[in-house]
Amino acid sequence: MKLIIKNLKKNFEQKQVLKDINYEFERGKIYGLLGRNGAGKTTLFNCLNEDLEIDGGEFYIDDGGVRKLCAEDLGYVLSTPNVPEFLTGREFLKFFIDINRKRITDLKSVDEYFDFMKIEVEDRDKLLKDYSHGMKNKMQMLVNIISNPDVLLLDEPLTSFDVVVAEEMKQMLKEIKNNHIIIFSTHIMELALDLCDEIVVLNNGVLTEIDRKGVDNEQLKEKIIEELKED
């Protein structure tokens, strides 16, 4: 399975943020999406999620036949988590499972999902408004994993976690990547190099793949920085 983007464009008034995005993302890989502040990483995600209307081009799924990318195909973990703070963690998870039961494969118990995401027993019945930013982010990531979409868009998902939890989340993403296309936006180069199979840079409105073959991490960093410098 592939997510294919062709000639995607997005303008904000006179400013071209995405000029000509062309890329093929394959299932089984984690793609590190790097770019300077304001490069358009979140704009690209919002276009794929159809929160923004594109100004040109197209994107679609190719799984032996071409079809439109639909809501069920896509999971989107925002950098600022959006959860119903008036519910407890358990209530939120039960509600999400109930309304999505038909599309959930290999359904597990609520506590099994909590265990999978390493959410402590004492936190499961707390109101989400009392969760830390990192805990809310965990819950947001968990419901997206439960729904098991083909494509996971992760917008700076690990920045709110401490070192231990971030490492747990990295291992979890590596465990599930074979069944997904994962696009991981980050501004932390070392994180992208450690976690991701492929590195793509968004600069001046276009996506460029950085070839990792035959170079060590220091050489790769130099190649990324040079690509980000180009005007």
Is pLDDT larger for residue 95 or for residue 186? Answer: 95
Q: Within 10 Å of residue 8's Cβ, how many Cβ atoms?
A: 22
pLDDT at 160: 64
Say which CATH number the domain at 44 has.
3.40.50.300
For the chain, the domain total comes to 1
| Closest by CA position to 141, among listed 112, 109, 164, 173 | 173
Is 82 in contact with 158 (CB distance < 8 Å)? no
Q: Which domain holds residue 36?
A: 2-229
The structure's pTM equals 0.88
Q: Give residue-wise pLDDT tens across range 80-99.
A: 888 999 999 999 999 999 98
Residue 96 CB partners (closer than 8 Å, separation 6+):
143, 146
**pLDDT category of residue 231 using cuts at 50, 70 and 90:** low
What single-letter DSSP state applies at residue 103?
Answer: G
Backbone dihedral region of 155: left (phi > 0), alpha (psi from -120 to 50 degrees) or beta? beta
